[in-house]
Every structure is written in structure tokens, then in C-alpha cells.
């Protein structure tokens, strides 16, 4: 039997399993295209558990694209606080403005053109929200499929992604959204990434090649990860009376967000006067690690900063979690 035929046979048991066993998640209720967009952007690079409550809160605050589009950027950033990867919030905000004006796009191409939506997210949104037969292939789906076919393609290669996308596209059933979600769910709770997959609970156990050969854990095959670049930074928490200096970050990591002033390790920083405390901290981004030496210091000059009290910072500014270690100084 060829791959396509085998995968076709795997569709009904997967859908049947999903209907019985799917988790009760907030974004699976009251579906609208806008809600699907919010959940998919929130779930990019963030665990389901971390998103659950935030999704509900976010929608309480911004129940429609129109409501989100009419909020201020600061309000949106604040509502996103703690979820990290703030560019997603900015993209969602921009997408809401487009949707509020033009309506929700009705095709994969239209969805893909929204800010922050790549191939995977476009597939997820257009299959779940619009019922289009569009595969959403990420690491989870690649893991399941390489196990299912005992396929040792390197899942780090674009060619592998393309291959499995085409294979899936050829077997998409009319229940497109359910199928996309069923694949995601299988990867999340049965054919799991860390530790052995739970083949005993898997709707594909009778068809899966890796399971038949007992080689489940040899898949997926992936190339070595690129090492993260380390940036050594001096972070200044400048104090003037009961106010602290914030600066809007320029291009690069955390662009557009307010944070504490930073310089490369060892560069002079004339705005700092007497140093009151020092502390080291590390923050890991996807491709970069910040190794920070934080200094609480008296301000020697006003500088071109925004000055705010601890209460104002807590209330109005989404201080990125990269600076979390230095928040205790804000008092």
C-alpha cells in the first residue's frame, strides 16, 4: 500500500478518536474566525496550559476584531503581558485592524497575508475557521507522521515539510477543521514529544509502521539545532526619587516594548550615578541568550527616558519577562 492510501485509511479512526477523547479547551467553544486567529497566535511557541486563562481574559477584554482594533497598542501589550514573543501581539493588533476594515479573509491566501500568519498558522486557521482543506504542518505533525510511516527524512528540512504537507492535502476529509485539530491533539496527548509515545491509547496503533517495528522513539530524525548566540548586556534600573527610567526599545529583540536601558557589557553609561545594587540574570530567547548584569543605580542625568513610578509601570507597561529578575528593585 502506498503512503497516500495508508494515510487515507488512518483518517476515520483519528476523527473517531478525536471526537471521543479531545480535551475541553476554551478555544474549542464559541468558534468564530477571529477567536481562532487569537488562539492560534497565542499558541505559537507557547504551551496550552499557559494560554488557557490568558485566552479567556483576552477575549473578555477584546471580544471582537473591531474592539481589538480600537484599543491602544499599550492596552494590547498589557493584555499580552507574560505570554512573551510580543511581536505576536503586535501582529494580532495589526490583523484586527485589517479585519475590522475588510472583514475576515475567506481563503488560505487571504489568511496567509495577515500579519504574523505563516504557512502553519494559515493552514490551522483556514481549516478550522473556514473549513478549507489546508494542512497545518509543524513539529508535532512531522513527529506523528514520521513515526506513522517510519520515515527517516530530516524534519529540519523544508523538503520534508513540503512532502508531508502534500501527502496530507491529498487525504483531507470534508471535516477539515476537525482533522487539523485531531492531528494536533494526537501530537499533544498521545504521540508525545518527550518520552515514549502512548501507543496503547493511539487510534493508529494498528497502522503505524514505527509501532509495528518497535522503533517509535527513533523518530523523528532531526538535524542538530543551531547554537544560540550569547549577548552580554549591562541593564540599568535608574532611580530618580520614586521614579524609574524606561526606554522604548528600537529594532531587534523586544522591539517597540518599554524596558530598562541596556548597553553591551563594559560600554560606559553616563546616565548612571551611584550603583546601589547588582544582580546577574539570564534570559533565553529562541535564537539568543541574554546574559545580563543588572545594576540599580541613582540617575546621574535625566536622559531621554520615560520616568514612571513602580505602580505606573505595573499598571501601564508590559515589561518584558526578560527583565523580570530586576523588577524587585522597583519600590
Binding footprint of ligand SF4 on the chain (CB under 6 A): 144, 147-148, 190-191, 197-199, 202, 204-205, 208, 210-211, 216
203 vs 294, which CB is nearer to ligand SF4?
203
CA gap 261, 254 in Å, rounded: 13
Which three three-digit cell numbers place residue 123? 493552514
User: Is residue 40 flagged as an active site residue?
Assistant: yes
46 vs 205, which CB is nearer to ligand SF4?
205
198 vs 288, which CB is nearer to ligand SF4?
198
The single-letter DSSP state of residue 276 is E
- Taking alpha carbons only, the member of 235, 241, 243 closest to residue 306 is 243
CB of 219 to ligand SF4, least distance (A): 8
Question: With contact defined as beta carbons under 8 Å apart, do 38 and 54 qualify?
Answer: no
- Taking alpha carbons only, the member of 127, 145, 144 closest to residue 136 is 127
- Taking alpha carbons only, the member of 117, 97, 99 closest to residue 108 is 117
62 vs 148, which CB is nearer to ligand SF4?
148
Which three three-digit cell numbers place residue 225? 539545532
220 vs 294, which CB is nearer to ligand SF4?
220
SS3 for 252-275 is CCCCCCEECCEEECCCCCCCEEEE
CB of 163 to ligand SF4, least distance (A): 17
Which three three-digit cell numbers place residue 11? 483518517
Give the strand pairing for 288-299 and 229-240. Answer: parallel
132 vs 210, which CB is nearer to ligand SF4?
210
53, containing H or E segment: helix 48-61
CB of 74 to ligand SF4, least distance (A): 44
CB of 224 to ligand SF4, least distance (A): 23
Q: What are phi and psi of 55, to 5 degrees?
A: -65, -45
**In sequence order, what DSSP letters do the residues of 89-116 get, joined into one string?**
HHHHHHHHHHHHHH----SHHHHHTSTT
Rounded to the nearest 10°, the torsion over CA 86, 88, 92, 95 is 120
306, containing H or E segment: strand 306-309
CB of 11 to ligand SF4, least distance (A): 13
How many CA atoms are closer than 13 Å to the CA of 36, on its beta-carbon side? 21
CB of 155 to ligand SF4, least distance (A): 14
Active-site entry in 40, 178, 185, 216: 40
User: Which residues carry out catalysis?
Assistant: 40
Amino acid at each position: 500500500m502506498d503512503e497516500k492510501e495508508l494515510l487515507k485509511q488512518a483518517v476515520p479512526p483519528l476523527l473517531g478518536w478525536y471526537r471521543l477523547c479531545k480535551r475541553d479547551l476554551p478555544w474549542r467553544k464559541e468558534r468564530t474566525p477571529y477567536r481562532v486567529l487569537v488562539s492560534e497566535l497565542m499558541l505559537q511557541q507557547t504551551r496550552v496550559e499557559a494560554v488557557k486563562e490568558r485566552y479567556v481574559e483576552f477575549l473578555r477584554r477584546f471580544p471582537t476584531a473591531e474592539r481589538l482594533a480600537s484599543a491602544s497598542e499599550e492596552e494590547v501589550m498589557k493584555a499580552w503581558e507574560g505570554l512573551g514573543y510580543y511581536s505576536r501581539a503586535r501582529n494580532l493588533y495589526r490583523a484586527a485592524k485589517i479585519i475590522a476594515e475588510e472583514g475576515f479573509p475567506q481563503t488560505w491566501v487571504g489568511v496567509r497575508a495577515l500579519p504574523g500568519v505563516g504557512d502553519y498558522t494559515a493552514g490551522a486557521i483556514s481549516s478550522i475557521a473556514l473549513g478549507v482543506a489546508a494542512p497545518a504542518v509543524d513539529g508535532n505533525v512531522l513527529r506523528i507522521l514520521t513515526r506513522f510511516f517510519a520515515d527517516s527524512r530530516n524534519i529540519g528540512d523544508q523538503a520534508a515539510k513540503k512532502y508531508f504537507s502534500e501527502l496530507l492535502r491529498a487525504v483531507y476529509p470534508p471535516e477539515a477543521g476537525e482533522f487539523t485539530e485531531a492531528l494536533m491533539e494526537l501530537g499533544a496527548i498521545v504521540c508525545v514529544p518527550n518520552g515514549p509515545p502512548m501507543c496503547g491509547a493511539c487510534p493508529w496503533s494498528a497502522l503505524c509502521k514505527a509501532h509495528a517495528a518497535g522503533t517509535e522513539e527513533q523518530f523523528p530524525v532531526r538535524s542538530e539545532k543551531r547554537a544560540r548566540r550569547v549577548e552580554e548586556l549591562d541593564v540599568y534600573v535608574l532611580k530618580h526619587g520614586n521614579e524609574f527610567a524606561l526606554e522604548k526599545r528600537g529594532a531587534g529583540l523586544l522591539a517597540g516594548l518599554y524596558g530598562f536601558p541596556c548597553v553591551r557589557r563594559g560600554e560606559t553609561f553616563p546616565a548612571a550615578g551611584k550603583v546601589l545594587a547588582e544582580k546577574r540574570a539570564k534570559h533565553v530567547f529562541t535564537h539568543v541568550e541574554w546574559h545580563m548584569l543588572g545594576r540599580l543605580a541613582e540617575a546621574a542625568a535625566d536622559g531621554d527616558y520615560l520616568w514612571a513610578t513602580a505602580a505606573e509601570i505595573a499598571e501601564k507597561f508590559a515589561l518584558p519577562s526578560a527583565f523580570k529578575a530586576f523588577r524587585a528593585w522597583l519600590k
